[in-house]
Structure 1
Amino acid sequence: MGSHAAGTKVPVTRSKMEIDTLLGAHGALRRIVGEEPGLAVVVFEVKGRRVCFRMPLPARESFLKDPRRPWKTRKNDEVTRAWEQACREKWRCLLLTIKAKFVSVESQVETFEEAFLAHIVTPTGQTVGQLALPAVAEAYRTGAMPPLLPPGPAGASR
């Protein structure tokens, strides 16, 4: 995994705790940091908005073969080590992603809504990203793109 978290030794439990602490420090009184099989889930409420990150976690079975020697099956302890390392890296990346978004908001690079837009939960229970991304993909597929810039004020010359 070519990331800032590659090779991390930080346990998953510590990354989860750091995410929870980070969210609390930014005013999230309601928050969940957890997982279900194959999926990391972070849900929190800040500024009257519910935000949900759902991050796929690697399947243990995907580490049965050694990528350097695909004809060789790894031993059980090697599979466990490789899988646990991949999980540590994914959780660390999620922490860094959320932290970077808060830094962006604090630095006034963007608003909270802009930084977390794709992950804001709508009244339907879907995130903005789940609703918008298919429409964006369709726009690119059909070539029916909206203008790059919105129209200026009424009566403005172009």
Structure 2
Amino acid sequence: MSRYAENTSVSVENSRGEIERTLQRYGAESFGYGWEAGRAVVQFVTQDRHIRFVLPLPDKNDRAYTHTPGKGLVRTEADAYKAWEQACRQRWRALALAIKAKLEAVEAGITTYEDEFMAHIVLPDGSTFGAWARPQIAEVYATGSMPSLLALEAGS
């Protein structure tokens, strides 16, 4: 199975701009982005919620970019950069699609805003709800028992 937009020619900048325009169209109050080695971050505020998506970016030194797939031949620096850049474009297109699909599903009444964005809601300590909840979900499945209501209240 091929990856969504694996051969896209849409630049990272154009995908990011599309995300910003989509958020504006659906009523976002603010938008920001940033990047560092290995990840990009898109943040916005809408419906009184701060939302953060962390987009993992590929490692430029990964063999998938430095070598020709299936042949193992070392790529030139320029060809390795082009392969890495293509992977970045693919990820940004996927993020643009995901955000647009979530907003449209909410707009169409298929789901709610909080259900669609729950994992990405930024909590008062700066973490996301997903990062906070994942270990708890794993624990519930591992033990087979739900936490008590008092334990939930004590943790809030």
Q: What's the TM-score once normalised by structure 2's chain length?
A: 0.87
Across the two proteins, how many residue pairs are aligned to each other? Answer: 145
Which among 63, 66, 74 is matched to residue 64 of structure 1? 66
User: Which has the higher Rg, Structure 1 or Structure 2?
Assistant: 1
Deviations 1:113-151 (A, max 9, x none): 1110000011111111000011111222233358xxxxx
- The code of the aligned residue for 2:68 comes to D
**SS of aligned partner of 1:73:** coil
Deviation, 1:24, is 1.3
Deviation, 1:40, is 1.4
**Match of 1:51?**
51
Mapped partners of 1:6, 1:66: distance in 2: 16
Q: Contact between 1:19 and 1:33, CA under 8 Å: does it hold in 2?
A: no
Structure 1: state its 5+ residue gaps.
147-158
Q: Contact between 1:66 and 1:73, CA under 8 Å: does it hold in 2?
A: yes
The yes-or-no answer on 1:117 pairing with 2:118 is yes
- Once the two structures are superposed, the pairs formed by residues 8-157 of structure 1 within 5 Å of their partners are 8-62=8-62, 63-70=65-72, 72-144=73-145
- The code of the aligned residue for 2:61 comes to E
Give 1 or 2: higher helix fraction.
2
**Match of 1:153?**
none
Q: Contact between 1:51 and 1:120, CA under 8 Å: does it hold in 2?
A: yes
Q: What's the TM-score once normalised by structure 1's chain length?
A: 0.86
CA RMSD of aligned residues (A): 1.6
Give 1 or 2: higher strand fraction.
1
Moved over 6 A (4+): none
| Percent of aligned pairs sharing the same letter | 43
